[in-house]
Structures are given as C-alpha cells and as structure tokens.
Amino acid sequence: MMVLYIIYLFIVVIPLYALTTALLIINFIYFQDIIAYILIILIGYVPLTIATLVTLYWIPKFYKSITYTMTDGEVRVERGVWWKMHHSIPYSRIMNVDVIQGPISRKLKVGTVDIYTAGYTGRGGGSGGSNTRRSEAAFVHIDNFFELQEALLNIVKGRPLFGQPATTSDELLEEVKRIRALLEQPTQKRE
C-alpha cells in the first residue's frame, strides 16, 4: 500500500517539478529576470517540496493507523492520521461486498474491498465522480482482497437480513393468506 501511494505521489509531483524546471529554463534562455527566478522558486519549488515531504511523512503514518477486525458479529475498520475514522458494520447489515483495483494496484497485486450496507451507502466524490457510491467501510489496498471478499460473503450469505429471524416459505404463505383475507373483507362506510 505504501508503495502504491508513493507511486501516486510521484505521478503527480514529477510533472509539476518538470513544469517548474521548464519555467526556470525558459526564464534563463529568454528573459534572465532575477525576480522571475525568485518567484518560480518561491511559488513552484518550495510549496511542491513541502507538500512532497508532508505526504512522504503521512504515508507510513496512515499505513500504521489502519486496523481491520472481523469479530463474530461485525466488521471493524479504523484508520486516520489526523482525522480518525471508526467504522463498525454488523454482518446483518451488509448488502454487498465489492473489490476494486486500478491499473497500478493490479501490477502491485493489491485491491480494495468495499463493504456496502442498506441505508448508509451514499454518494461520494472521489475519482469516480459525484455519482460514485461510497461504501460504509473499506479494506484499503490489501493483498488478500479476493479471499477477504469471499470470507465476508460466506459469513453474510446464510444470515437473515437486518438480524431478523429467517422466515420459511410456509410462514410467508400463511401471512399472505391473512393479508388476502383482510383485503377481501367488505369495507364499511363511515358516517
């Protein structure tokens, strides 16, 4: 995961450093303006270097902050360096478990397992755009993502939805018969 984030960082940082360096070269060849040199360094290199160093500090801290726990009744995901997030999802609320991999993630053989629940899943921003569903919790960039997806699906497969006891087809048939009998009763006019 840390390697993936460092790759993402350098995919952004290298072109920005190249652009800043190109501006310095253009200034050197065509203008030779000392004020432009200073501005390019102060506006380009300094913030970019600070942002790169802060991100390089943050990546291992974020990695160490992540904990995933699967108990008998729920999944817990905790993470965050500056903003801490604690997600606890009962198995009875899990509606879907997806695996997501980008092209670099595939090369690194890592993936993200997203856990979706009914009622809590909302719209999120992110790289997929504003119409992308946001999961309730995610196991981010792990190497055993398919095994985890299967394990979660096997746990929730036989469980009744929302913790309700399983209803047999005979019980459902009797309930439908009671509803039908109520609907077929003549209605009384109100005065």
Tens of pLDDT, residue by residue over 20-40, are 999 999 999 999 999 999 999
**Same-domain pairing of 122 and 140:** yes
104 lies in some domain: yes
**Same-domain pairing of 75 and 60:** no
Cα-Cα-Cα-Cα torsion 13, 15, 21, 26, nearest 10 degrees, comes to -150
pTM value?
A: 0.72
**Same-domain pairing of 84 and 138:** yes
**Same-domain pairing of 18 and 80:** no
Of 112, 72, 108, 78, nearest in space to 92 by CA? 72
**Same-domain pairing of 41 and 13:** yes
Q: What is the mean pLDDT of residues 42-69?
A: 96
**Same-domain pairing of 61 and 111:** no
Written as six digits, the tokens of 89 are 């999802």
For residue 167, how many C-alpha atoms fall within 13 Å in the half-sphere facing its CB?
12
What confidence tier does 118 reach under pLDDT thresholds 50, 70, 90? confident
**Same-domain pairing of 77 and 151:** yes
Structural domain for 86, as ranges:
68-165
Q: What is the pLDDT of residues 81-105, one digit of tens each?
A: 999 999 999 998 898 999 999 999 9
Q: What is the pLDDT of residue 170?
A: 82
